[in-house]
Amino acid sequence: MEHPSSEKMIDLGNRFVDIHNLSNLSSDNFDFHQSLVKTVDECGTVACHGGWGHVLFKQENISEHPNYAPFEHGAAAIARFLGFSDKCLGFDSYDNFAKWARLNPELWGNIAGGSMFHTDGHRAFGYSFPDDCTLENIGQHYIAVGERLKTLEETNDETS
């Protein structure tokens, strides 16, 4: 399984930080247990990490609920942005991304990366309690992962 590029990971982190800062989001807008994203009024939506990916990448709502989309749409958009393909080895792109994070804790930054799209996803970003984790924190985590990937890319370039 290939690593995502440092550039894409840092870009993703900046997008999470930007949406946090531009939207004046409170912790009330972020909930790891919220599996549906309100697609009609994004300013008032409550979503999990994957759900906010739906907002970040302005995914088309193809669910049976006209005003809500499942978090999986946004989680897949995040993973595809980073280069993880759909239906690889029977897994969706976001499962492949979570698997990559789980298998590369030295790059992800902890051993809980595989849970990023689960209800205990706060642990994937280094937080013991869900209320302590914000979209900005997630963005900063992605930026730190990107910096570790950049170091790895530079090391690989030197040894090639």
Question: Is pLDDT at 6 greater than 50 in this prediction?
Answer: yes
Over residues 105-126, the mean pLDDT reads 93
The per-residue b/e assignment along 80-115, b for 16 or more CB within 10 angstroms, e otherwise, is bbbbbeeeeeebbbbbbbbbbbbebeebbbeebbbb
Closest CA relative to residue 7, chosen from 154, 121, 125: 154
Question: Is pLDDT at 138 greater than 80 in this prediction?
Answer: yes
- Report pLDDT for 56: 83
Could you report the per-residue pLDDT of 23-72, keeping only the tens digit for each? Answer: 665 555 567 667 677 665 554 555 688 888 877 887 655 556 667 777 88
